[in-house]
Structure 1
Amino acid sequence: MLVIALVSTLALAACTSSASDEAADDGDLNLIVPSAPASWDTRQTGSLTLAAQLLVNEPLMTYQADGAVVPNLASAVANPSLTVYEYTLAEGITFSDGSPLTVEDVKFSYELHSAADSTSYTAAAWSQVESIETSGNDKIVITLKAPDPQFRYTIAKVGIVSKAYYDEHGDAVGTPDVPQIGTGPYLFDRFVPQSETTLVPNPDYRGEKPRFKSITMKVAKDDAARVVALQTGEFDGVVSPPLSQIASFEDLDGFTGQEAPDFGLYRINFDTKKAPFDDVHVRKAIMHATNRQALVDGIFAGQATVAPTLVPESIMAAAGDPAEVKQAYVELESDLAFDLDAARAELEQSSRPDGFDLEIPVDQGDPSQSLIAQTIGQDLAEIGINITVKAMDQQGHGDAVYFKHTADGLSIDSWNGGTPDPLNIPKNTLLPGLFGNVAQYDNPEVTELLDAYQALDVEDPTRVPVLLKALSISGDDLPMVPLFTPKVFAFFKDGMELKNFDTFWYMTRWTDNLTTS
């Protein structure tokens, strides 16, 4: 039996279990995952959850490990200008219920995310879309309001769904009783929301026969259960486990580790629309009272790098002048010094000079959030800010922090870069109205700079300086405190390996890259 743990918010829905009779030769693949969505509705998945979603709901274009984006459901793509994308749909493709894939299905799939009132986790990636139109029976034309160097990755991350199926079932699609359907090599077979999912082969898949008889993805109850599952042989591996557990996995006999730098970060968010976090002195007090290096050393055993800003230096340096980037990052880091005396001085200048009590919500699917909150709470107490930590399930945490903003105003989360472009995290977390902008931050100068970056050609040498200026200004405003950039790890039983493992592995057809010997 083969098993892996994939860092995805994974879970699935029931479909034709009889498809398991069409099993391939590699047996059952059982996966431990850190969390699972409440629904497999395409709007409620994103980032690492795509490791499962895109096996069922295929995209028009597929991301490759070398960074290329190549046709999949599309037979051809054209870019008449920097703002127009034309895709020609391949012929003869069907959904798992036998119905044909049409351009109307593609248009509908994209409008689920691009609609003005969309609650999609990936709505930010569609914010530049001006129109989505069909042309004839085989062409979809997307026009952007302005150039967006990341848009090609957006197409590679959005799985296509059936319009007729959504018309029939509405918001029930993706739940246990109404499994999502797609054109991919696997079907949703079993789904327990926020807990467990099973995929089985699509017997009518047009391409190469799926490798695994089934793929089961299950959330461990706690950290101890995750390690025990590997020790007992119930599971054969773990991909992207919590950093706090890396040492435990390194000590396990019979397992080989892989690692890669991540494009993402942990951060402290301040809701700038709520008192007292509308006061920059309160925000700076908390920033100076946060010992980021101690978090890296104590919680993550050094398996992360303190973050001077929202973009890892290696990602920024790859897009610009490394020497210029290095100097800018030194300056950004100098503004984030841990200094309790400076923290007290800032608080004395604030609207809450005597301190205050604070409840911090954390996602129970990410144990690191709770550890970070409890650790910074010790230093915050030194300056008169007393915290309590409230563990919440994924849906409750999402409402409190991202959608309904019912939390007290300070939260801790991790934000994964969704594309290799350095704009990804700044755009999603600094532009007003977007899902990742937990701070509800709105600085017109920063918005103008980010828009200017998007309008520049990817080879333009002025792009990186523009982005660095935006990061410097937002750093002074301090809507959030960048904490650290983690590494990503995978541990498999000896003889198993996930080829081309990197921070964007979940965007690829990763089942083809999983090797055994």
Structure 2
Amino acid sequence: MNSRRAKALAAAMTLVAMLATACSGSSSGDKDKNDLSLIVPLTPALWDTRQTASTLLAGQLLVNEPLMAYQQNGSIVPNLAEQVSRPSATAYEYTLRPGVKFSDGTPLTAEDVKFSYELHSAKDSPSYSAAYWARVKSIETSGDDKVTITLMAPDPQFQYTIAKTGIVSKAYYDKNGDKVGTPDVPNIGTGPYAFSRFVPQSETTLVASPGYRGKQPPYAKITMKTAKDDAARVLTLQSGEADGVLNAPLSQIDSFEKLDGFSGQEAPDLAYYRVNFDMKKAPFDDVHVRRAITHAIDRKALAEGVFGNRAELAPTMVPESIMAAVGDAAEVKKAYEGFAAGLTFDLDAARAELKQSNSPDGFEVEVPVTQGDPNQSLIVQTMAQDLAKIGITLNVKSLDEQGFGDAVYFKHTADGLSVDSWNGGTPDPINIPRNTLTPGLFGNASQYDNSRVNALLADYQKKDTDDPSRVTMLLQALAITAEDAAVVPLFTPKVYAFLADGMTLKGFDTFWYMTRWIDNITTSS
């Protein structure tokens, strides 16, 4: 989902002075070599585990560790848990590692784990991760060191859910309530770092936790900043205020590649940009309107204009390589060719569909975009040029991350059309479809509800991971979604990082934020 900002740039003389002191991307002279400063895509409004997902986990999991840890090779190993057993296909029993303490000195207990998980599994939980916990039947404790989780049915993704969910202190939440995670009451955890300073939607400072049970982390302090705008992002690197940028905006890759003193890394992303239609709001409850817009979007021109050669057209919401890795490649290829054929740029077809709709003369709609993703605004502005040719006017409204979330995902206050980027939270191909097509889940910005799709997604999750029929089911679900024009898949981007010369994020890929990534930064002498 990957979660913000607008102030004026510094005065011209200040800018000149800053540039004059820039030192080819290396840290500025008064910056301690044991400190690390990075530009990140988003900073949350609250450091509560319910409000962090995707790249926000890069900060959260360094403080609030998970029971099991995701590794760069894709494996999941014990972390706060000393061991895990599977009493049945739907049950997981975790035994906690002895002697683990929170940063305030209190011991970690099974009740803390249970409480941490119920923040997400409780009915009507506002958690960004609620979808992953929806199939939990019960969470039980035994003594101070055992937790048993029972699912309603087997779920191939649940192991990743545990690896992405940080453990918090129940006593700390009982004492501080909704204040936990705010600048005045930072969250506490068992991890190698503790929250030190926090400016919502702007900047977070972590410091090494002196009471940490394991090896002390490589940096005494980590500062993670969200840039105010594109110019500020480049200037922050040039001035030596930051050592790098993670998940760099694709619209700025050319600028970053030209910077002296920085080197880039790239990897395929499990994410896609999409156009959402809120199907509970007119005129987007009309399939002809949705199909008209689908045909009026020049996806190829969008991809080239916004991302250059750094994104591939997306026939559907799951990259073909991810689907083919677990299914029959020939079957997948044929299905994807069909998906692509239905996404033609054809203004005549668009006009014909609109004439069949309840809005034959077109309409005007306000489209929210988040300040945290400058690509959204570029996409909407470019789309507007073609949609105007069929009588549809798009007006951009810029919102901070929280406002965008309410407008598109939670309160659905937007007019009904939006553009966003949705990241896969696990390597399983069901991840994006389940979280963006299931009724009631916040990723379902279209409020889509098709009984056949619901049944196919549910049946997929009941199948063993080596059962090829599950991919057939998923392809069928995606075909129905395409026929309904529930969303318009645009493109699948790459993911980039730029670090000061000599620094490398070893094993950088789309899921870097789920690992203990800080240990994977290497520095050559």
Same fold per superposition (TM over 0.5): yes
For 1:275, the equivalent position in structure 2 comes to 282
What SS does structure 2 have at the residue aligned with 1:398? helix
What is the Cα deviation at residue 474 of structure 1? Answer: 1.1
Out of 24, 29, 53, the position equivalent to 2:60 is 53
The one-character-per-residue Cα deviations of 1:61-106 (angstroms, maximum 9, x if unpaired) are 0000111010000011111222111111111111000111000000
For 2:230, the equivalent position in structure 1 comes to 223
Q: 1:120 and 2:149 equivalent?
A: no
- Tell me whether 399-408 or 131-140 shows the greater mean CA deviation: 131-140
May I ask how many residue pairs the two structures share in their alignment? Answer: 498
The one-character-per-residue Cα deviations of 1:97-127 (angstroms, maximum 9, x if unpaired) are 0111000000000000011110001111111
* Runs of 4+ residues over 4 Å off in structure 1: 7-11
The CA RMSD measured in Å over matched residues stands at: 1.3
Q: 1:235 and 2:242 equivalent?
A: yes
What SS does structure 2 have at the residue aligned with 1:362? strand
Unpaired stretches in structure 2, ≥5 consecutive residues: 6-31
Distance 2:330 2:481 in 1: 22
Q: Aligned runs of 1:206-355 on 2, under 5 Å?
A: 206-355=213-362
Out of 424, 427, 433, the position equivalent to 1:426 is 433
Out of 365, 371, 374, the position equivalent to 1:358 is 365
Aligned residue type for 1:174: G
Aligned residue type for 1:201: A
What is the Cα deviation at residue 26 of structure 1? Answer: 5.5
For 2:148, the equivalent position in structure 1 comes to 141
What is the Cα deviation at residue 136 of structure 1? Answer: 2.6
Distance 1:159 1:10, change over 3 A: farther
Aligned residue type for 1:46: A
Out of 398, 415, 420, the position equivalent to 2:422 is 415
Aligned residue type for 1:71: P
Alignment TM-score, normalising by the size of structure 2: 0.93
Distance 1:409 1:293 in 2: 24
User: Is 1:290–1:376's contact at 8 Å kept on the other side of the alignment?
Assistant: yes
User: Is 1:262–1:487's contact at 8 Å kept on the other side of the alignment?
Assistant: yes
What SS does structure 2 have at the residue aligned with 1:29? strand
Out of 385, 388, 391, the position equivalent to 2:392 is 385
Distance 1:26 1:207, change over 3 A: farther
User: Is 1:450–1:470's contact at 8 Å kept on the other side of the alignment?
Assistant: yes
What SS does structure 1 have at the residue aligned with 2:325? helix
What is the Cα deviation at residue 234 of structure 1? Answer: 2.1
Distance 2:42 2:65 in 1: 22
What SS does structure 2 have at the residue aligned with 1:319? coil
What SS does structure 2 have at the residue aligned with 1:54? helix
Aligned residue type for 2:394: I
Alignment TM-score, normalising by the size of structure 1: 0.95
Aligned residue type for 1:179: P
Out of 478, 482, 487, the position equivalent to 1:480 is 487
For 1:464, the equivalent position in structure 2 comes to 471
Distance 1:434 1:487 in 2: 26
Out of 101, 119, 126, the position equivalent to 1:94 is 101
Distance 2:150 2:253 in 1: 45
Distance 1:342 1:177 in 2: 56
What is the Cα deviation at residue 10 of structure 1? Answer: 9.6
For 2:13, the equivalent position in structure 1 comes to none
Unpaired stretches in structure 1, ≥5 consecutive residues: 1-6, 12-24
What is the Cα deviation at residue 236 of structure 1? Answer: 2.2
- Tell me whether 213-222 or 130-139 shows the greater mean CA deviation: 130-139
User: Is 1:8–1:36's contact at 8 Å kept on the other side of the alignment?
Assistant: no
The one-character-per-residue Cα deviations of 1:137-178 (angstroms, maximum 9, x if unpaired) are 211111111111000000000000000110111111000010
Distance 1:329 1:349 in 2: 28
Aligned residue type for 1:516: T
What is the Cα deviation at residue 492 of structure 1? Answer: 1.4
For 2:511, the equivalent position in structure 1 comes to 504
User: Is 1:10–1:197's contact at 8 Å kept on the other side of the alignment?
Assistant: no
Distance 1:26 1:314, change over 3 A: farther
Distance 1:180 1:234 in 2: 26
The one-character-per-residue Cα deviations of 1:220-254 (angstroms, maximum 9, x if unpaired) are 11101111222222222222111001111112222
What SS does structure 2 have at the residue aligned with 1:216? strand
User: Is 1:237–1:490's contact at 8 Å kept on the other side of the alignment?
Assistant: yes
Out of 35, 45, 70, the position equivalent to 1:63 is 70
Distance 1:88 1:255 in 2: 44
What is the Cα deviation at residue 342 of structure 1? Answer: 0.5
Distance 1:156 1:223 in 2: 33
